[in-house]
């Protein structure tokens, strides 16, 4: 058994001592899958690094033990830890691209792991490496063993990481967000592979993830973390059937799906508290809708509840449970109320954007002078329509052409690609416009990029970032009117007015995405291209952004071209769906029709691959 006993991890930071993990304890048996779940910054990955003794230079363990079959690995010298890492505990890191050595062939990296932790050498080690590549589903392993990582897709690189980890024949496997960077079809393949290999080798699997749907289909037991502490531990079936901690309940209510269409998701107000402070009460109390008077002054323990689970909440303190005295559970969902003008309501459903036979080709450059030697069709004969006040979701796997289509329509690829076809907005073909006419059209169509941090200028204050669009596209607006408009925008997207004087790095990911939305709204567009606007966000922050987008659509009548691979988000927000594969649309129609009765084989495979939250009927 792998045991973590009362581990505390601290980090030296500019803000002071950060208590990244505060009193962690868990056990993992051979053949068991234990899921450690929670949102960004809660301490999941830090737990994995602590048990492997791979903490950053400013981090150290101040208390506790890590036992592998009774042996305390924290007491071992570094030379002894080399046998534990890989040999006893294997680890699959979150990002395969940065975990594989880019200048070593994948075979050499596999053989290195095999020769370090087993008795095989030379040709025998190479044959074993080929066998493991075959086991994890790499095609033509005899040839691909001599490839470099850059020649492989994201899913194949993750499979190589799994092969490298398992080739050392560990007893326990730590998988840190092993499918976060993968498409749903590749994710399903990797999860099935992990299940199969676990059954064959009796591995104990510590699965670290924020994807609750993945957990419900994989785990035997679940531990939920918040602000450096485990706040609930339960068998997976019991956790998803009836979560006990208010934070767990709120997370499950925040998940978007078809049953919550037309309703506001249960977003969690506030943010995670800084871990550099001294806590006098429950860490979740400031955000909890069921908080009691003594929650702010009493530190809750991880109390046993019902024999099979533990909960860190005063609601379940021994001798305190009296259902008649408990604060009531909050209302789950509230309907989205439209407050649009009569003109906006009258326009809903009328044609806004008509894309016909869109084709985007990128030149293939070769030679010293990098001259074009042919073209690659990233988007090929794509046609779709977006209507006023409605949402069209463009879905498909990475590389299918979704983002390229969106950027082409917004005129961001003119200088690097050849674009053919028509994209009529208000009766004008966007591809024929230039100069003042194109500038005028850009007032009507804006874009929200996937990564809010990369798309905001780090050297500009928020006010200047938002004002930039007004200066370029509405130059007749005076300074006083611009300030009034930007203050109004900040309020509209849920930011305080003092946020306008701050820089992007001073905000959380969800707040930065709100700034990006405000920038797109500044010039009052009719259509916004949303390129994976929630993919980098936690569940609770995603709920906030989706609620915001739906409220803005109801109020302003904005149309969205929503580019995503998250089918749950599509079910919640989309009116129509277009499914892309290899640059072409293979199926499109009303959201309910496409998702419930898909006609194309690829669409069926895509939907079948989506992990679903398994709850009792």
Do 149 and 157 form a contact (C-beta atoms < 8 A)? yes
Quick one: pLDDT at residue 340?
55
Q: What are the structure tokens assigned to 270, written together? A: 């506030």
pLDDT mean over 247-256: 90
Residue ranges of E strands in 333-464: 334-335, 351-366, 371-387, 391-395, 418-425, 428-429, 445-448
> What was the pLDDT predicted at 479?
93
| pLDDT band per the 50, 70, 90 thresholds, residue 614 | low
Question: pLDDT at residue 427 above 90?
Answer: no
Taking residues 310-338, report their average pLDDT: 62
**Over residues 301-313, mean pLDDT:** 90
Question: Is the predicted pLDDT of residue 584 greater than 90, yes or no?
Answer: yes
Distance (Å) of CA 429 to CA 355, 379, 419, 434? 9, 18, 12, 11
Percent of the chain topping pLDDT 90: 45
Residue 339 has pLDDT above 70, yes or no: no
* Mean of pLDDT values over 503-529: 88
Given a contact cutoff of 8 angstroms between Cβ atoms, the answer to whether 563 and 532 are in contact is: yes
When pLDDT is cut at 50, 70 and 90, the band that residue 376 belongs to is confident
* For residues 267-277, average pLDDT: 83
Tell me the pLDDT band of 181, cut-offs 50, 70 and 90: low
Report the half-sphere exposure of 445 (CA within 13 A, side-chain side). Answer: 25
Nearest to 300 by CA among 324, 286, 318, 323: 318
> Is 280 exposed, middle or buried, given 0-12, 13-18 or 19+ CB atoms closer than 10 A?
exposed
Asked whether the predicted pLDDT for residue 377 surpasses 50, the reply is yes
Q: Provide the percentage of residues in the chain whose pLDDT is more than 70.
A: 95
Pick the range with the lowest mean pLDDT from 242-251, 481-490, 503-512, 593-602. 503-512
pLDDT band at 331 (very low <50, low <70, confident <90, very high): very low
Q: Which residues of 580-616 are buried (b: 16+ CB within 10 A; e: fewer)?
A: bbebebbbbeebeebbeebeeebbeebbebbbebeee
What is the CATH architecture of 342-444+525-608? 3-Layer(aba) Sandwich (3.40)
Residue 281, pLDDT score: 93
pLDDT at 326: 47
**Whether residue 337 has pLDDT greater than 50:** no
Beta-carbon contacts of residue 475 (< 8 Å; ≥ 6 apart): none
For the chain, which residues make up each domain, given as ranges?
A: 96-169, 342-444+525-608, 460-523
Tens-digit pLDDT profile for residues 549-577: 999 999 889 999 999 888 889 999 999 99
Least confident of 167-181, 276-290, 393-407: 167-181
- Residue 595: the pLDDT is 93
- pLDDT for 442 equals 87
């Amino acid at each position: 058994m792998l045991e973590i006993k009362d581990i505390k991890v601290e980090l030296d930071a500019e803000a002071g001592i950060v208590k990244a993990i505060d009193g962690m304890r868990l056990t993992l048996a051979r053949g068991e899958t234990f899921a450690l779940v929670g949102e960004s910054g809660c301490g999941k990955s830090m737990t994995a690094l602590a048990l492997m003794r791979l903490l950053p230079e400013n981090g150290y363990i101040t208390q506790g033990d890590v036992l592998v079959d009774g042996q305390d690995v924290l007491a071992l010298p570094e030379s002894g830890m080399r046998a534990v890492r890989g040999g006893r505990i294997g680890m699959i890191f979150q990002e395969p691209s940065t975990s594989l050595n880019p200048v070593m062939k994948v075979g050499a990296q596999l053989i290195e792991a095999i020769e370090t932790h087993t008795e095989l050498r030379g040709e025998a080690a190479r044959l074993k490496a080929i066998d493991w590549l075959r086991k994890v589903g790499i095609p033509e392993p005899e040839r691909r063993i001599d490839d470099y990582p850059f020649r492989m897709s994201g899913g194949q690189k993750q499979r190589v990481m799994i092969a490298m980890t398992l080739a050392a024949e560990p007893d326990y496997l730590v998988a840190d967000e092993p499918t976060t960077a993968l498409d749903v079809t590749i994710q399903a393949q990797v999860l099935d592979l992990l299940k199969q290999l676990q059954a064959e080798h009796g591995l104990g699997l510590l699965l670290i993830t924020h994807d609750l749907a993945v957990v419900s289909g994989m785990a035997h037991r679940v531990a939920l973390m918040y602000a450096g502490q485990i706040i609930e531990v339960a068998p997976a079936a019991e956790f998803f059937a009836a979560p006990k901690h208010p934070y767990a309940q709120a997370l499950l209510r925040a998940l978007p799906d078809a049953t919550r269409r037309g309703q506001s998701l249960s977003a969690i107000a506030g943010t995670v508290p800084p871990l550099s402070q001294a806590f006098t009460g429950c860490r979740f109390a400031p955000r909890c809708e069921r908080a009691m008077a003594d929650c702010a002054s009493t530190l809750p323990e991880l109390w046993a509840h019902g024999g099979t689970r533990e909960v860190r909440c005063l609601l379940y303190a021994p001798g305190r449970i009296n259902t008649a005295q408990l604060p009531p559970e909050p209302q789950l969902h509230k309907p989205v109320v439209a407050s649009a003008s009569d003109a906006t309501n009258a326009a809903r459903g009328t044609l806004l954007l008509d894309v016909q036979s869109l084709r985007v080709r990128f030149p293939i450059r070769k030679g010293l002078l990098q001259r074009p030697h042919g073209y690659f069709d990233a988007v090929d004969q794509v046609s779709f329509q977006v209507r006023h006040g409605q949402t069209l979701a463009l879905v498909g796997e990475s590389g299918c052409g979704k983002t390229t289509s969106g950027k082409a329509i917004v005129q961001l690829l003119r200088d690097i690609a050849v674009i053919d076809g028509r994209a009529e907005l208000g009766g004008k073909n966007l591809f024929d416009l230039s100069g003042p006419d194109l500038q005028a059209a850009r007032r009507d169509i804006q874009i929200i990029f996937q990564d809010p941090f990369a798309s905001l200028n780090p050297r500009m204050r928020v006010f200047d970032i938002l004002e930039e669009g007004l200066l370029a596209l509405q130059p007749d607006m005076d300074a006083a009117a611009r300030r009034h408009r930007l203050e109004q925008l900040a309020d509209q997207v849920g930011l305080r007015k003092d946020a306008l004087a701050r820089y992007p790095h001073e905000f959380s990911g969800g707040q930065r995405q709100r700034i990006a939305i405000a920038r797109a709204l500044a010039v009052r567009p009719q259509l916004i291209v949303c390129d994976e606007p929630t993919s980098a966000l936690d569940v609770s922050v995603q709920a906030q952004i989706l609620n915001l987008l739906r409220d803005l659509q109801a109020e302003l009548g904005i149309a969205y071209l929503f580019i995503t691979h998250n089918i749950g988000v599509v079910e919640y927000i989309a009116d129509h769906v277009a499914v892309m594969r290899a640059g072409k649309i293979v199926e499109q129609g009303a959201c309910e029709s496409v998702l419930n009765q898909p006609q194309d084989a690829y669409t069926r495979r895509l939907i079948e691959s989506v992990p679903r939250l398994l709850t009792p009927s």
